[in-house]
Each structure stands twice: as C-alpha cells, then as structure tokens.
Amino acid sequence: MSDLGRLEDLPADYVSALRAKNLVPLWPSLRGVLPPNRPIPNTRATLWRYQDIRPLLLQAGELTPIDKAERRVLVLANPGHGLDKMQASAAMYLGMQLLLPGEWAPSHRHTPNAVRMVVEGTGAWSTVDGQKCEMVRGDLILTPTGLWHEHGHDGDVPVVWLDVLDLPLVYYLEASYHVNGGRQAVLPGQGERAYGHGGLLPTPVFQRSTQAYPMLRYPWAEARAALLSLAADRPALDAVQITYSNPETGGHAENILGFYALMLRPGQTLALPPRSPASVYHLIEGAASVSVAAQRFDLVEADTCCAPGYTPVTLANPSASAPAFVFIADETPLHQKLGVYEVWPAD
C-alpha cells in the first residue's frame, strides 16, 4: 500500500481554509492514531525509588504546612506522557502522600476513584463515608468515586502512602471535580470485619448492602496470610496472586482500575504475557526484579515501577529463602468494559 499523503503536501491556503472552519484532514495523521499491527504507547517503563522520594517528601512536610497543601503529595510522573500531565499511564495517576503527626487532611469528595497503599508509619487513619480505617503498612484503603474522605494522624511518626487514582481518564472525559466538606461523623461498622473472611458472608446473603462499596479497608495481614495459604495449598501454581474484590458482587474492588497482591516464592521467576493494560508494581516486602522488555528494575521495599501495555513483563525473586510480596495496579477493568482487553502470545 502506498504511503499516505502528508500535511505539508497540501496547499497552505487549503489547510488554512480547513482550519478556519474547524476542520482537519485525517489521512496525514491516520497512521498515528491507528498504527499498523500494534499500539504505540506513550507510557514508558519507569522506576521510582522510595529512597529518592522519601527525603524530598519529608522536606515537603517542612516547606508546606498541611493547611496550605490540603494533600501533600509528590506525583510519580511518567516521562512518556510529560511530567506536567502527572500521569503514570494513560489511565493511572500515582502519588506518594505524607501525613505528619497531629495533622488532618480535610474532608472532600471527587469523581476520580482512589486507593491508598500504606507504605510506612503508624497512627494515621482515613475516614471514608463515615468508616474510620486504620492505616497499617501494606493495607489497601478505597476512596471510591463520590465518597467523602479525610485523613488524620494521632501517632508520633510520619506516615506515607501510595495513592493510585484513575484521574487521567476522568480528567480526559472532562468529568473531574471535587467538593470540600467538614469533619465526618464516624459511623458504627467496619467492612473488613463483616466481609473480610473468605467464603463467609453476613446472613442472609440476599440482603445486599446499601453501600456500593461495602468493604473499604483490606488489611495487609489478611492478604498476606491468604497468599501464604494459597502458595502452601497449591505448590504447582505459578502465579500466587489474589484480587482485591467487592465481596458483594465478586467483581473488582473499584470499577475502572484493578488491584492485586502477588507472592513470588523464594528464587521464583514469573513471566507474564503481553497484555493490553498498563500495570504498576509496588514492592511491599522482600526484593524483586521487574523486567519490562529490555529494561530491568531491581526493587527494594517501597519501590514502584510501571510497564506499558502490550509489553512482556518478567518478575523475579532474588532471595533463595524469603518470599517477595508485590502490590499490582492495572487498567484491566477499564479495558474489559471497553472490550479492548487482550492477551498476546509472548514474542
């Protein structure tokens, strides 16, 4: 097939006439928006080391009080999208958030969905829709679209967590906004106490919760125990992985991004096939290497990296004696809803 015409091949007065009428010729840009055979992602494989982030985050705590920041966050921006866009991938935003002892990050709600993966510290909490969620290292806490949430700190050491939001997508859809609110009243009931036990649901099961998200805190102690139990029960299983899910629907915990915990056995190497969604890997415990095509990232605890879609990823645990535990976020639910989810054979 012959090459498509270029914009510069067209007469300048013709191009000006088109633009005056808010018209653009498709053919010069057709191969850019519909490349042959496979997408060309802007997302680049990128590593963010916690040892680089932490001192700068603590310095931000000295430079900017919480009442001036509202949310004191350093954004993990992917250079492939441009640092000004604050994107980790096409649909994912990442940020490291700091809360110091005695601080309160005021209540608000917004259209993007968010989750918090606690990285370090004790004594902090998030109140989400009236449910006060303790923040313990490795815990996953949901703040779904439209729910009031605030963060407070009653302890004596800094607390840091990783934010994962679908902000880039919601912003692209021109649906992103927030509303400020006052302090929430804490309501009785903890979702993880009612739903956080495998195969055991409140009776009668047919009486659904009035809340779209009945479980907001997923304690790391429970997730870690589930991974160890799964690994012991199925020694031949390659991917020892669990999905953070809505206990009432069995679907993903939130409706746009997917969240998972993966255990790598001592010395294990796990090759993942190319899939359409981009993915994020955050090391909770142990050590791991993440190879994305020709790049390799050696992760220590609290490091984070991302991989573009349609790219093979290999995870490896360098320890011969200890497991490694990885938190994963990806765009799978979005791709599945849009009908573009694909798994390709490895090259």
Whether residue 98 has pLDDT greater than 50: yes
Whether residue 202 has pLDDT greater than 80: no
The more confident residue out of 175 and 187 is 175
The per-residue pLDDT for 167 is: 98
> Could you report the per-residue pLDDT of 258-314, keeping only the tens digit for each?
999 999 999 999 999 999 999 999 999 999 999 998 999 999 999 999 999 999 999
Whether residue 1 has pLDDT greater than 50: no
The per-residue pLDDT for 191 is: 81
Domain residues of the chain, as ranges? 44-338
Whether residue 197 has pLDDT greater than 90: no
Q: Report helix, strand or coil for 124.
A: strand
CATH topology of domain 44-338: Jelly Rolls (2.60.120)
> Could you report the per-residue pLDDT of 115-138, keeping only the tens digit for each?
999 999 999 999 999 999 999 999
Share of the chain above pLDDT 90, in %: 86
